[in-house]
Amino acid sequence: MQLIAYARWRRWIFLAVVAWLTCHPTAVLAQIKELERYNTTGIVRGLKPGQIDIELPDGKTTTFKIQNVDEDALALSNAKYIVRLPAEISVTGTLPHDLLEKGMVMRLSGEFNRDGKMASPVERLEIVDVPAAEMIIEGAEDTRPDRFSKCRVTGRMINRQPLRILLFVQKSPLSRHERIYVDITPDAVFDIKAKNLGRVVPGDTVREMQVVRFSTGDLVIKSIEIEMTGKREKATLTFHDQLEQKHSHLSDEPGKPRTLKSNHFILHTDISDRSAAILLDKLETMLDLICRYYAAPRLREPVEIYCVRDLDNWQGKLPEYGFYKIMEGAGVTATATARVPGTSRFMAKSVVYSCDNHGVCQHEAVHAICGQLFGSPGPTWYAEGMAEMGQYWKPNQLEVAIDPVVIDYLTTAKPLKLDEIVRPGQVTGDSWKAYAWRWALCHLLASNSNYAVEFKKLGIAMMRSEDEDAIGFDTAFGKLRKEISFEYDQFVANFGSGYRVDLCQWDWKTKFDRLSGSARKKVEVKSQAGWQATGVEVVAGQSYDFIAQGTWQIHADGLELTANGDSLGRGQLVGAILSMHHDEYTLSAPLELGELGTFEAPMSGKLYVRCVDDWKALADNKGTITVYFRLSPDG
């Protein structure tokens, strides 16, 4: 019998830093000063974890940092300072009734008779957040069959027809079956309010915001009022908000220690009923994604999880190592594995002990799931990298969407080399920064079709091995190490919230040849992609002609651009030359091409091209242009 514990220290170290900064404001103020505070308005142009892009009244778009309600802190001065600066957020709007969604709790006024029929349809509804006990009908006093009483109805939408909504309400004379139908007008609308940025889309109006400019150069939003005026296809955008809505009828008050169950998890907890239901849904969704990723069967035994809000409720009920990890604001997973000698068969049981942070609990649950599926989570670099990936996985989400503090660190720190990340003999819980680099490598390899299949095979082999370091990184990728190292360097240089590895991966399969005579090379170039192979091998000092035909877009609703791009160079066709020096790939500086012209190759190598756009905003690009290359006649 083997007992393996995997600690979740990134969260502990992060919170320790934040707590120190919170408790020692003079130390922070000695290095960070507030230079000014001002109010302004604008239009939302982009939104990512930890930041919001706003077009100001002067027409310029500026990036501001903002700590949303579900984020722990902000990173200032290129992640040098980690501080708590939660913003006061108010998001309001009036939306058309066709955006009403199942699970929404709404309040309305109308006239009903004793059979629950309405005198006339309603024109306006309000979305509210109340527990099931407050979903009632008020004012139904006159119960004569020919009389209508003015009532206030608060209920949760179960279903809808084009102009009729079915609500759940508590049993009453008008709702004996805990149901009531509400008729609405064709132009009915509903008012909605939120205290987070989860419902905000580009195009929404910033009515007012207060900005603080610090000596670090950071612009941080202290308070913001947003009106939902942008075009939207649905009202609830984020996975977390969808779950909040699904379980909105449950109490958000902390509970007593109790045991709750889902299909594959046993949850011992004292968090609120709503938070527990959301957590179980997240865990089941994450399990489904993990099993689909590994093509693995569902768990034969449920994972047992202790998710603790108040340790005073759990005295004597937790093992000492679990108690102290929770006290640190962290978590730990214990996996007991019994292997059948001489075979690959085993039996495993995992127990998670976690603080009440959903991300911590999900991270630990990845260790537990992998332990029960394969016998162990694998060596440290893989176990922690995949656990970080697991807690961020959402259905149908391909872009990077992780903790903004981690993004700020990874995009400003000196990159950790590939060899250092996969070094054998590492110990879990070393630092949250090490966890961040492990996530970066695992995310790249799992999302990049050049390596995804072999990476999955390697992971399964490492998790099934009784010796964690017996199967190393080079087992699968020894021959591809140069390519992976290059793509990893490109990834950490360009990534951020919204980055899509699948759109930016390199083409290593296209055959490259040198042009000769009057031969032309035709290349189709997508705007929704990174560097793309042309198949043209260029020679240093040689001149090449090119012509680009067609148009593309760098925004879903943007203008069509030629290969010359716009006045700021966005949407321009550019090139770069990839060559090998000292057994490593080297990429030249970009070559500005455009719609028509000639360029001289600054070095010999393989020519790649792309449409100039923010690497983190390629997903909404549209269009393809055709480019022709040839040797210059006098070259």
Mean pLDDT of 148-164: 92
In a domain? residue 232 = no
CB 399 within 8 A of CB 500: yes
Same domain, 256 and 373: yes
Q: Specify the pLDDT at position 116.
A: 84
Query: 72-91 b/e with 16+ CB inside 10 Å = b?
Result: bbbbbeebebbbebebebbb
Same domain, 217 and 258: no
CA distances for 85 relative to 24, 32, 223, 403, angstroms? 15, 13, 10, 15
Q: Could you tell me the sign of the dihedral formed by the alpha carbons of 279, 281, 284, 285, in that order?
A: negative
Per-residue pLDDT reduced to its tens digit, 433-480: 899 999 999 999 999 999 999 999 999 999 988 776 678 888 889 899
Give me the residues paired with residue 137 across strands.
153
- How many CA atoms within 13 Å lie on the side-chain side of 475? 16
CA–CA distance, 362 with 303 (Å, rounded to integer): 12
Say what the alpha-carbon torsion angle 597, 598, 602, 604 is, to the nearest 10 degrees: 110
Q: Specify the pLDDT at position 143.
A: 62
Same domain, 102 and 79: no
CB 354 within 8 A of CB 8: yes
Q: What is the CA radius of gyration of the chain?
A: 28
In a domain? residue 16 = yes
Domain assignment of residue 277, given as a range: 1-10+250-377
pTM of the model: 0.84
Per-residue pLDDT reduced to its tens digit, 558-573: 789 999 999 889 999 9
What stretches of 298-360 adopt beta strand conformation (E)? Answer: 303-308, 331-339, 346-355
Q: Is 442 exposed, middle or buried (0-12, 13-18, 19+ CB in 10 A)?
A: buried
Same domain, 336 and 271: yes
Same domain, 71 and 220: yes
CB 451 within 8 A of CB 445: yes
Domain count, the chain: 5
Please name the residues in contact with 321: beta carbons below 8 A apart, sequence gap of 6 or more. 5, 332, 334, 353
Query: Which of 483, 506, 529 lies at the terminal end of a domain, its last residue?
Result: 506
Tell which residue, 296, 261, 311, 258, has the closest CA to residue 281.
261
In a domain? residue 122 = yes
Same domain, 67 and 205: yes
3: pLDDT strictly greater than 50:
no
CA–CA distance, 418 with 344 (Å, rounded to integer): 31
CB 268 within 8 A of CB 259: yes
In a domain? residue 236 = no
Query: Which of 473, 506, 539 lies at the terminal end of a domain, its last residue?
Result: 506
CA distances for 232 relative to 95, 99, 201, 560, 599, angstroms? 9, 9, 7, 22, 44
Query: 138-175 b/e with 16+ CB inside 10 Å = b?
Result: eebeeeeeeebbebebbbbbeebeeeebbbbbeebebb
Same domain, 523 and 577: yes
In a domain? residue 335 = yes
Tokens for 579, please give them: 């060559």
Same domain, 83 and 223: yes
Same domain, 42 and 110: no
Per-residue pLDDT reduced to its tens digit, 375-394: 999 999 999 999 999 888 88
CB 36 within 8 A of CB 210: no
Q: What is the CATH number for 342?
A: 3.40.30
In a domain? residue 245 = no
Per-residue pLDDT reduced to its tens digit, 13-46: 344 444 434 444 444 445 788 999 999 999 999 8
Same domain, 329 and 428: no
Same domain, 180 and 58: no
Same domain, 49 and 19: yes
Q: Could you give the angle at the alpha carbon of 443 between the alpha carbons of 245 and 17, nearest 5°?
A: 75
Per-residue pLDDT reduced to its tens digit, 326-381: 998 899 999 888 877 766 677 889 999 999 999 999 999 999 999 999 999 999 99
Query: Which of 345, 377, 409 lies at the terminal end of a domain, its last residue?
Result: 377
Run of H or E residues at 161: strand 149-161
